[in-house]
């Protein structure tokens, strides 16, 4: 069952233009957009994934990852098929690179927004995370869930590639609380060749969400030989500092997957080197991912460990309510339990 899409313009020749993401696809009758889940039927744009989740599960928020937003809380996590990128290294490609062109949503049944919110509450989750695939492409579903979740006292989190338009962010901000945005590279050609997108719209999403008071963290997957030069890592870190030195930067090790099977795993030394570069450029919170080693949070003023992490668990060991360091009284930026 299809649902009428938002954020699109009808053209006189029965073509539609979708303005949900920065591809801004012009779609002729019967065709799909680049994401493979939005179709022009008779001059009107429809989404085929509304109400059809491919994944629904209860995760720790640390798995998103979000480290400075209600640590230790549970996120009811939801995805449909589809993506507006085609990253060669995608680690969820089995669901992100599936489309609805053959009429398949891959979901076992339709689940309406009210039911999603009820399930989240029954499972004791404090947040709903739109994740695993790109939530932009199931925007209408996410929005309807998000509005109901807000009313029920739950927070909303996007784990996103950031390839939204300004028009989409205007619709998103009223119900969004936090986002983890992928910044995959600082080179436009990387985005064009490996992801089939562009860099600038992603930078603008990071700037804009932060400016509008959404809690933002950023993740970079470091792929050996592709985006791991000191210069590029420094450019990413400097950009983040220009937005805010308090943006947590998650630097994750790559493992071979999808079309990137000849690449080697990212060595731990490369992740540690990225961490060093980030600190040199002025970032205050940098977290290695997918390697063994510390992902604890330390007070940037006195250096005291304030949150200890092990796997996906987090324990406040010296963080008072409101995010205050128990040793020196500095306030750490983030959204903490009051």
- What residue ranges bind ligand SF4 (CB under 6 A)? 18, 20-21, 23-25, 33-35, 38, 84, 137
Q: Which CB atom, from 2 or from 23, has the smaller least distance to ligand SF4?
A: 23
How far apart are alpha carbons 222 and 336 in whole angstroms?
A: 29
> Based on CB atoms, which residue is closest to ligand SF4, 34 or 336?
34
Closest residue to ligand SF4, Cβ-based? 33
Closer residue to ligand SF4, CB minimum distance, 69 or 138: 138
d(CA 258, CA 252): 17
Nearest distance from C-beta of residue 135 to ligand SF4, angstroms: 11
If you write DSSP's letter for every residue of 141-180 in order, what string do you get? HHHHHHHHHHHTT-EEEEEE---B-HHHHHHHGGG--EEE
Give the nearest distance from C-beta 141 to ligand SF4 in angstroms. Answer: 13
In angstroms, the CA 182 to CA 161 distance is 5
**Residue among 138 and 336 whose Cβ is closer to ligand SF4:** 138
Residue 51's contacts (CB-CB under 8 Å, 6 or more residues apart) are 1, 3, 107, 110, 111, 112, 113, 141
Find the shortest distance in angstroms from Cβ 102 to ligand SF4: 17
- Minimum CB separation of residue 32 from ligand SF4 in Å reads 7
- Minimum gap (Å) between residue 216 Cβ and ligand SF4: 21
Q: Which is nearer to ligand SF4, 34 or 254 (CB)?
A: 34
Q: Which residues contact 90 (CB under 8 A, 6 or more apart)?
A: 83, 96, 97, 257, 258
């Amino acid at each position: 069952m299809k649902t009428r899409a938002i954020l699109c313009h009808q053209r006189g020749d029965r073509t539609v233009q979708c303005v949900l993401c920065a591809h801004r696809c012009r779609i002729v009758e019967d065709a799909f957009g680049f994401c493979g889940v939005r179709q022009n039927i008779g001059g009107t744009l429809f989404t085929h994934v509304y109400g059809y989740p491919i994944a629904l599960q209860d995760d720790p928020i640390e798995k998103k990852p979000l480290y400075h937003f209600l640590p230790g809380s549970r996120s009811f996590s939801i995805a449909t098929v589809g993506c507006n990128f085609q990253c060669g290294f995608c680690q969820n490609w089995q669901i992100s690179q599936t489309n609805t062109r053959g009429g398949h949503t891959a979901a076992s049944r339709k689940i309406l927004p009210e039911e999603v919110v009820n399930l989240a509450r029954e499972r004791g989750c404090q947040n709903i995370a739109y994740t695993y695939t790109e939530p932009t492409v199931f925007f209408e579903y996410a929005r309807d869930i998000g509005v109901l979740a807000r009313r029920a006292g739950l927070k909303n989190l996007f784990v996103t590639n950031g390839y939204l338009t300004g028009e989409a962010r205007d619709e998103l901000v009223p119900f969004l609380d936090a986002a983890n945005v992928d910044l995959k590279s600082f080179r436009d050609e990387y985005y064009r060749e490996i992801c089939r997108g562009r860099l600038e719209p992603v930078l603008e999403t990071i700037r804009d969400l932060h400016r509008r008071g959404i809690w933002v963290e950023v993740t970079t997957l470091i792929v050996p030989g592709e985006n791991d030069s000191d210069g590029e890592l420094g450019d990413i870190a400097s950009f983040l500092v220009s937005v805010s030195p308090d943006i947590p930067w998650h630097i994750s090790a790559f493992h071979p997957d999808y079309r990137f099977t000849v690449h080697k795993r990212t060595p731990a030394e490369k992740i540690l080197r990225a961490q060093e570069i980030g600190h040199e450029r002025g970032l205050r919170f940098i977290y290695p991912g997918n390697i063994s080693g510390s992902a604890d949070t330390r007070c940037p003023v006195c250096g005291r460990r304030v949150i200890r992490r092990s796997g996906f668990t987090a324990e406040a060991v010296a963080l008072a309510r409101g995010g205050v360091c128990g040793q020196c009284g500095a306030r750490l930026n983030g959204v903490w339990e009051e």
